[in-house]
Chain A
Amino acid sequence: MAEPGTSFGQRLGPALLDSLLAAIIAFALFSLLLGLRMVDKVTGLTLQPRPVLLAVAVGIVFCGRLLLNLFVWHAEYPLTAPFAKLFTRAPFERRDLIVLGATLLVATLMFLFSLVIIDSAAFELVAASVFIFLGIGLVRRIIVQFFPDLPYGRIFTVGGIAFAVLFPICAYLLEKTFRLGLPLRYLLDLSILVLTYVMLGWGLNVVVGLAGLLDLGYVAFYAVGAYTFALLATHFGLGFWICLPIAGAAAALWGIILGFPVLRLRGDYLAIVTLAFGEIVRIVLLNWTEVTNGPNGVSGIPKPTFFGLPFAPSGDGTFSSFFGLKYDPLQGIIFLYYVILALAFITNLVTLKLRRLPIGRAWEALREDQIACRSLGINTTITKLTAFAIGAMFGGLAGSFFATRQGFISPESFTFIESAIILAIVVLGGMGSQLGVAIAAIVMVGGFEALRHTEGLQSIFGEGFDPALYRMLLFGIAMVGIMVWRPRGIIGSRSPSIVLDEARPIGGGLVREGRA
């Protein structure tokens, strides 16, 4: 492969060769995936070749690879550099500005062209993406230029918390006053879902991110919490607030019960056993019909009350009658939102506190080097068990919230895919980083949901295109992208738990991912 600094002519040959290879691989892959289509005709199933589509796909790969080879990967001045520079503090050179300006110009022309002549949604979508990307970069750059020393991390965190606290109340009041027609119910439900995953992510972060124990069966504790509350509520008529700590304790107990036999295992073996544990719990719930009602699930789980005041449409001593408000089903949902927000905050605060205590430091030391821990007199078994128990407890609390929100639970809600999503949130967020996990949960769960509403894509791919069908594909591409560009997760650095003089974040490259 040509080195940077060689002339364009010298680079062209190897670049063409490389692109040709990529095109051949693409042809091999696409020839069956795109090149042939099974068609159901009256005469039976026949294969219909689609050479044009195949040629276009291979052509895109060839041209894209060639452009990347020539102008990005082996170029003396990669064309992507100015865009990356937007998100740093490096000064711009003349050619950076030319590239950015040219991009803006092309996008504007595309937009105008579409607006005036062909009315293509694809053009508009591309142009809009460029505008948004450049806009965000420029605004960020300008702020950083004028206020270089603001504590951005803190502002971001405080802003996020303020938004999370104020959002439902403000949205509710706005809606009631101005009748904007916001899909408030949908937004709140989605936020509650996202917050549940934020909490689960933070809970699993204790086990995976801090202690470095790969747990593929976290959903088991979620299930234990949910069923503990559901069964106590339906059989003994206990309320949510009494059952919440019981559910947390039950999940923690199960964390310890699972922990004892398996914690002598390391890395991949531990992952397999936790995976099995998750399945065992689900299958027990499915088959132990006398207690769990099997696949039919448990229904009629009560909603939480506001200091004893239920959210009910009529009757004495309800939330609305006590405060003299008009009953609105949204009140109950907003309350649920605040319950899960509070639970998530508690999870976060407890974790942050534990990180600064000896137990948390021992967890992280365990992730870094288990043998060294033992040589320093740390009982690794007990340390791992506490991590498992604390993580499981948060899972149990989230599970019991899940049960009360749904009003109905069945083993179907606790499949392996849930564990995988929660683990993906932790890994994508950056193991050990609380903020990263929160961002990842919002992106994973919220973004996944947002992909339902990609009507713009419909106008590109034609009327028959259902974006929901491609959610998984887009989702997978996004995950691969994050892993390529940010292999340590969205926030890969670690901040020290105790400081002598000055806190400096520790680069992700040094921090172990834990194979304990």
Chain B
Amino acid sequence: MRSWEEDPLLRAEHLTMRFGGLTAVDDVSFAVGRHDITALIGPNGAGKTTVFNCITGFYKPTEGMIELRQPDGQIFRLEQLDDHDINARARVARTFQNIRLFQGMTVLENLMVAQHNVLMRASGLTVGAILGLGGFRQAEKDAVDFARYWLDRVNLTARADEPAGELPYGDQRRLEIARAMCTRPLLLCLDEPAAGLNARESDALNELLYSIRKQDDIAILLIEHDMSVVMRISDHVVVLDYGRLIADGTTAEARNDPRVIAAYLGVPDEELPVVEREVGL
């Protein structure tokens, strides 16, 4: 029994997403382990981001279900929740392929917005805070401290009061992860976190993701093209091609799977019939 089958945090069953006549995701089932880093890989157009958008509520899947089990045993069906509830209640956070920071707001403000729901409750839905009731001041202080903690983790404390849009690209990537972490998620979904990073930044990212899994014990699901990142930090690899699941296993298994190799590298013409027979096409 493998870790993600033993104690799955998230289970996608028969997930299908059609856009008109195009089937972007076709009957995909996989699980994400509670303590794992799971990589979702595949060639361009394989449907990775579509799966992501289904999980995080930006698309409603045409068929199938996505189940997220909380530590207390409560189960959320993500395909039935509103997108903001997927973060607020089911505690799934995400980042975006093309970074979506609040560019005109400072780094600290970005992290404060991420704690909106906690602060909103503490402010008595604003009314209490205006009247000066309740522990809003304390809650705000705690929120700033939590933000500062994550700023330290991603090494951005010195730039806390700068507008997010002025940060260098690598810092923006890390800030987006910190912002997602400030929503206190159970599952962190990262859409190509290493895209556009240089080797050094990529290493730092690996370390950050590793520490999020180890230290904070938060499951990570990531889409990635950079195989060095995938192979080094993932526990579990799910491979899609043309919307279909072609492999699901450890990194070593994925690396040696002929179908994965075929999908990524293609095969010489003369070997095509052999490979097709092997992969069952």
Contacts and interface: CB of A to CB of B under 8 A. Distances in A.
A103 B131 CA distance: 57
A454 B280 CA distance: 88
Interface string A321-365: 000000000000000000000000000001001100111011011
A108 B31 CA distance: 84
A496 B116 contact: no
Contact of B161 (A362, A374, A499): A499
A358 B163 CA distance: 18
Interface-centre pick from A353, A364, A497, A498 (highest chain B CB count, 10 A):
A498
B192 interface: no
A378 B116 contact: yes
Contact of B87 (A358, A375, A499): A375
B58 interface: yes
Nearest to B107: A500
A375 B189 CA distance: 11
Contacts of B148: 500
A500 B93 contact: no
Contacts of A299: none
A368 B105 contact: yes
B183 A369 contact: no
A353 to B, nearest CB: 6
Given A357-B126, A357-B129, A376 B116 contact: yes
B166 interface: yes
A93 interface: no
Interface stretch (A116-124, A218-226, A402-410, A506-514): A506-514
A40 B157 CA distance: 77
A377 interface: yes
A377 B87 contact: yes
A378 B84 contact: yes
B161 A361 contact: no
A318 interface: no
Contact of B108 (A354, A362, A496): A496
A372 interface: yes
A494 interface: yes
B120 A365 contact: no
Query: DSSP majority for the B interface?
Result: helix
A149 interface: no
B161 A377 contact: no
Contact of B123 (A358, A496, A497): A358
Contact of A377 (B105, B126, B162, B183): B183
Nearest to A390: B126
B68 to A, nearest CB: 14
A500 B123 contact: no
B84 A364 contact: no
A118 to B, nearest CB: 54
Given A368-B104, A512-B104, A377 B116 contact: yes
B113 A354 contact: no
Given A358-B116, A375-B56, A497 B109 contact: yes
A379 B84 contact: yes
The CB with the most chain B CB atoms within 10 A, among A372, A373, A501, A507, is that of A372
B160 A378 contact: no
Interface in B45-102: 56-58, 82-88, 93-94, 96, 100-102
Sorted nearest first, the 9 A-B pairs with minimum C-beta distance are A511-B104, A377-B87, A377-B88, A368-B102, A358-B119, A500-B160, A372-B100, A510-B165, A365-B113
Interface of A: 350, 353-354, 357-359, 361-362, 364-365, 368-369, 371-380, 386, 494, 496-504, 506-507, 510-512
Given A358-B120, A371-B58, A375-B83, 9 more contacts: A357-B119, A357-B130, A358-B119, A376-B93, A376-B114, A377-B84, A498-B108, A499-B161, A501-B160
8 contacts: A350-B130, A358-B119, A364-B109, A375-B93, A498-B144, A501-B160, A506-B105, A506-B106
